Amino acid sequence: MAIRVRESTKDDLPAIARIAAAAFHPKTDIISARIFPAQQQDATLDNDIVSWRYAKKTASLSSPHALMVVAVDDSLNDQVVGFALWDVYSEKASNQPQPSAQKPPPPCFDQEAFAELRAIVSSDHQEMFGERGIKDVWHLDYLGVDPQQQRKGIGKILLDWGISRAAGDKKDCYLLATPAGKPLYTKTGFEHVRVVPIFGVSHHSMLLRHNR
């Protein structure tokens, strides 16, 4: 296995969408289970979830405040085996055109649950950093690894990539960790700051400080 990290392109989006849908599947992820409740009864809706993930990641790729990278395995003909999405605010980029509106979500999508999730996350940004929210940190929005490629250190490679570049910018790193993800972030130097309940499950607001 020879893993390298590079910035993502449009050609990577199908693989990213599939990985996101599999790594954060409603059967294993509490947030996805609330956003796509019907999926638990009808597995044929998996295609709708992949399509929604594709639309979201397409918007992220064109956002001036997002940086998406992929981990590729050279031993698997450069197969995309994981991805990370960072929110990296830039005053210069704020004047660039914003991504166009996305197509409507699939019928299985719970709009109210998604709005509740966004409100919880936004509130944590304000609690952590005040009025400017995440504009002065590198925010890890997503880190996903192909379930068939997990437990090979790919997540840490992706995480280290972002941490290194945030350090170069002299910016702290921030994330909201799931219970399953918390051990990786703790081992990498993130400090637990506060518990954030999301849909009845304790998530963890965490910070890695470069500015001391």
Q: Which of 89-103, 140-154, 157-171, 172-186 has the lowest mean pLDDT?
A: 89-103
Dmax over CA atoms of the chain, in Å, equals 50
Q: What is the pLDDT of residues 37-63, one digit of tens each?
A: 876 556 667 888 999 999 999 999 999
Residues facing 85 on adjacent strands: 68, 142
Element (H, E) at 68: strand 66-73
Pair of tokens at residue 21: 């849908």
Q: What is the pLDDT of residues 142-153, one digit of tens each?
A: 999 999 998 899
pLDDT band for 99, please (50, 70, 90 cuts). low
Q: Sign of dihedral through CA atoms 171, 172, 176, 178?
A: positive
Task: Measure the CA–CA gap between 156 and 210, rounded to whole angstroms.
Answer: 18
Convert 81-133 into a string of H (helix), E (strand) and C (coil). EEEEEEEECCCHHHHCCCCCCCCCCCCCCCHHHHHHHHHHHHHHHHHHHHHHH
Sheet with strand 79-88: strands edge to edge: 3-7, 66-73, 79-88, 137-145, 172-177, 201-208, 191-198
Distance of CA 99 to the CA centre of its chain: 18
Q: Show the domains of the chain with their CATH numbers.
A: 3-208 (3.40.630.30)
